[in-house]
Every structure is written in C-alpha cells, then in structure tokens.
C-alpha cells in the first residue's frame, strides 16, 4: 500500500495474502458515511422556491430541498449499517487472527499509520514496492527471474503530453483527439462538425494552442517551441 490505503483502498487490500505498507501509510478508515446535502435554506435566501410533486412515499428521498424526515433517516442508517457490517466481515475474512469484533474495534472510521496497522494486525509487513514484488515473486516461484511491472490504467503518449502541458482532462481529450481529429471526414463520421470541435477547444481555457501542438507532435518526434504564441483576430 502506498501513501494512503483508507476506506475503499483498504477494502481492496484486505483479501490479500500479504499486505505490505510503508511505516507512514494512512491505513484503515474502515467505515461508512452517508446522507445528502440540503440547500433549502440557501434557496430561500436566493428567493428560489421548489414545488415537489411525487408519486410514492419516498420518491423525493434524495431531493436537496429539505432534510430527511425521521422515517427516512432510519432507512439511511439501516443502509449504512448493512454496508459497514459487510465491510468489517470482509476484512475479518481476509485478516487471519482478527474477528469481526476485532475489526469493528479497529474500524468505525479510525485511521492508523502503517506501523500502527502492523501492530494491530491490519498489515503484515512494513516496506515498499520492492518488498511487495519480492514477496510476490517468491509466492509465484519465480526465483530470481526478472519481472515486468504493468501499470493500470496504461499511460499513453497523449496522457503524458497533456499532463506535461498541465491539462487535467486527459480522458476527455483522448476521446476528442485522434489522428484525424481536425479533418471534416472524421468529424462528420462522429456526427460532430469541425467548427463545433474547435469551438469546444477554444471555449475551455483557450486550448487551441494545445490542439495545434498535438497535431505537430504526431508528425515530429522533436520540435522547438517558443514560450509564447501569437493570435491574430478580427
């Protein structure tokens, strides 16, 4: 486990035969929270009124225009308790020597350092990736054979480039930019015109420069880039 293995992170790790954590890994947070936001007071301050028409007693269960009534609070609490019980049961099943009661005592949202987690049985070994690989190699009977580390999701040249350029919406761009992204034929095939694509690029942060760079980098492995660009408008 890396810097943080809390809640869902520990849920994933719990069934492992051996759990390795750094001494400072934030571990645990075995717990569940639930609820909703109520913006009724804010709406009233803004002069906004909502009228809710519903069919069924709990049809407006998740509305943001009011708190849960007592009956629905009980429903939410029951759901949270069921999920929490399942959580601690799965951890106990994966952690030899810990009962459900033990996990509950260590759980309830508490967090531990990796060192503390080893002391209380939530972690088996203290170390990093190298130790985890060594343990996995030994269990697989690979001896001293070299191993290949495969990262998921796999990184692409585009994600690396966009990260370098400081553009966070990598997955969105990978869907928008292809080798023919700026040709009418490709756009028409997807039912989206070139003009609308370029409008999208320009609208979200003036990204037309980034789009041009993507086209350039597809054709040239190396290029020189000035620290500024010139835009001529009407």
Compute the distance between CA of residue 176 and CA of residue 202 in angstroms, rounded to an integer.
13
Order of strands across the sheet that contains 4-6:
4-6, 26-28, 111-112
Would you put residue 19 in left (φ > 0), alpha (ψ -120 to 50) or beta? beta
Is 7 catalytic? The answer is yes
Q: Where do we find the tokens 């069919």?
A: 55
> Which residue among the candidates 7, 38, 113, 159 is catalytic per the annotation?
7
Compute the distance between CA of residue 20 and CA of residue 193 in angstroms, rounded to an integer.
51
Compute the distance between CA of residue 11 and CA of residue 134 in angstroms, rounded to an integer.
23
Compute the distance between CA of residue 9 and CA of residue 27 in angstroms, rounded to an integer.
8
In DSSP terms, 112 is beta-bridged to 27
Which sequence positions are flagged as catalytic? 7
């Amino acid at each position: 486990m890396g810097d943080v293995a809390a809640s869902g992170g520990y849920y994933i790790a719990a069934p492992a035969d051996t759990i390795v954590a750094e001494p400072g890994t934030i571990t645990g947070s075995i717990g569940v929270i639930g609820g909703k936001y109520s913006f009724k007071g804010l709406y009233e301050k803004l002069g906004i009124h909502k009228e809710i028409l519903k069919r069924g007693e709990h049809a407006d269960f998740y509305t943001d225009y009011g708190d849960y009534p007592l009956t629905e609070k009980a429903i939410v609490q029951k759901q949270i308790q069921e999920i929490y019980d399942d959580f601690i049961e799965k951890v106990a099943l994966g952690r030899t020597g810990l009962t459900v009661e033990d996990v509950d005592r260590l759980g309830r949202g508490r967090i531990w350092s990796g060192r503390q987690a080893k002391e209380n049985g939530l972690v088996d070994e203290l170390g990093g990736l190298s130790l985890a690989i060594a343990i996995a190699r030994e269990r697989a009977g690979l001896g001293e054979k070299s191993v290949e580390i495969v990262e998921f999701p796999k990184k692409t040249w585009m994600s690396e480039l966009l990260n370098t350029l400081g553009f966070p919406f990598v997955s969105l761009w990978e869907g928008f930019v292809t080798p023919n992204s700026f040709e009418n034929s490709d756009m028409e095939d997807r039912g989206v015109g070139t003009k609308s694509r370029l409008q999208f690029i320009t609208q979200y942060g003036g990204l037309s420069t980034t789009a041009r760079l993507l086209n350039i980098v597809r054709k040239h492995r190396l290029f020189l880039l000035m620290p500024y660009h010139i835009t001529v408008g009407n």
